[in-house]
A and B are shown apart, each in its own frame.
Chain A
Amino acid sequence: MDTTVANTGSEGKTWGGGNDPLKASYGKMMMWFFIVSDALTFSGFLAAYGFSRFKFIGSWPIADEVFTHVPFFHGNYPMIYVAFMTFVLIMSSVTMVLAVDAGHHMNKTKVTWYMFLTIIGGLIFVGSQAWEWGTFIKGEYGAVQTKGGNILQLVDNTGHRVAISDIAIDAHGERVEHERKNGLWFVDEGALPMYTVDEVYNGLVANPDVVVRTQIINEEGHKTVLSREESLSKLKREGVLVVQGANLHVNEYGTSLFADFFFFITGFHGFHVFSGVVINIIIFFNVILGTYERRGSYEMVEKVGLYWHFVDLVWVFVFTFFYLV
């Protein structure tokens, strides 16, 4: 019946409808649009990190001195473990492309195996991330925070870090943690620091070769180390709190903004990896069950593949701006 639909005479022409000029399916295109918006979210975070860093350009922590640990090994290995994590993620990206490629050839066995390897890679990465967080939160040497919120670290005369717990002289019983059972029943107090500033000061007096290192970065790009006299007076005058490790309030490595951004950006990225792994597992089972075999196309693998590569792409930037630059 020609009466219901107007025949415009433009069928088969460019503007006649029914074209797909981008030659991409709806799902794939929407995945790309999502990726663009998510990329803007991440660049918002990284640009905010840059903002704060430019604000404190003369006192920002040096990443090489913060991330120096490798699981099961003692010693100072800056960047090695992050480089390993980067490689794992790139590798899992590769197995993902191989899965997509096998999907194009409708090879179910290969898709299954490559998806499996991708999931394993993702799990290794998330596990490494968790370990890295744990190490960062636990801290290593400890530091003293000043009234102005700056951090004073201790070094010996060769420039190596000295742990607070190694020099502090324990003065027992000065101050006990307040608990509900022995004080006000309706008030809680957070855990007290292991040492008081006075105990650290006494330790500094007793160790003549230990000096204070401030956050200020000097001409050579190192943190400024104070003289012995300056160290003693600075710690006495300005020290208010002994901090160990990092959380959202204090950070033994430097400005607390560094820790905040570390948790926020790597956390948000880690959450992406985690959800990527979950989505990959769902697709993995769909592959095993033969869903895409019956559908006649493995395009779904390609779509989650896009997401997975995007997570890898973001990590490349996080790696540069958090650990390298």
Chain B
Amino acid sequence: MAHEHKLAIFRGTVKFKSNIQKIWGVLIFLTIITAIEVILGIYKPSMFMHTWMTPFEGGFFATLGNIIFSPIVYMKPLNLIFILLTLVKAYYITWDFMHMRDETKALRRMVVWTGVFLVCYLIFILLQEGGYIQGVYENGYVKRDF
């Protein structure tokens, strides 16, 4: 069986001579990302600890704006950075270690889109409800039940 590997990463910016070189290159990249995460996690720079935007006030468009900008309105920038770096790591593990880059487009989409869609749905439902219950605890009279 012939095994063709696509040897370019970062949309063709970095090209490797062989598959083995590409593996080591991706390892270095993933290690750097993990190191950045750990350093940010230990030092927690104060500029990333408070949200950069306050929620919009007002009617329908304010709500819409809050939904669209929710990652920066409701999330600390530090956490947003962690999540983005995690997704970057996940991409390179899947694409280069699991050879997703070399699979057909159809297989790739079948796996990735199905997963991404269902996971987004799950996260939305559960976090929305968690936030609601937190509001009940905070504004209501329920102290604690479970």
Contact = CB atoms under 8 A, between A and B. Distances in A.
Given A23-B104, A310-B98, A91 B27 contact: yes
Given A90-B34, A313-B94, A297 B130 contact: no
A323 interface: yes
Contact of A148 (B41, B82, B96, B143): B143
Interface residues on chain A, size class: 35 or more
Nearest to B94: A313
A35 B93 CA distance: 14
A100 B1 CA distance: 13
Contacts, number: 141
Given A55-B137, A90-B31, A39 B79 contact: no
A287 interface: no
Contacts of B98: 305-306, 309-310, 313
Contacts of A43: 118-119, 122-123
Contacts of B137: 55-56
B41 to A, nearest CB: 5
A312 B131 CA distance: 30
A98 interface: yes
A317 B86 CA distance: 7
A320 B94 CA distance: 17
A90 B27 contact: yes
B144 to A, nearest CB: 5
Interface of B: 1, 3, 19-20, 23-24, 27, 30-31, 34-35, 37-38, 41-42, 49, 79, 82-83, 85-86, 89-90, 93-94, 96-99, 103-104, 106-107, 110-111, 114-115, 118-119, 122-123, 125-127, 129-131, 133-134, 137-138, 143-144
7 contacts: A55-B133, A57-B134, A80-B38, A101-B19, A310-B98, A316-B93, A320-B37
Given A97-B96, A148-B143, 6 more contacts: A22-B107, A47-B123, A97-B23, A302-B99, A316-B89, A323-B41
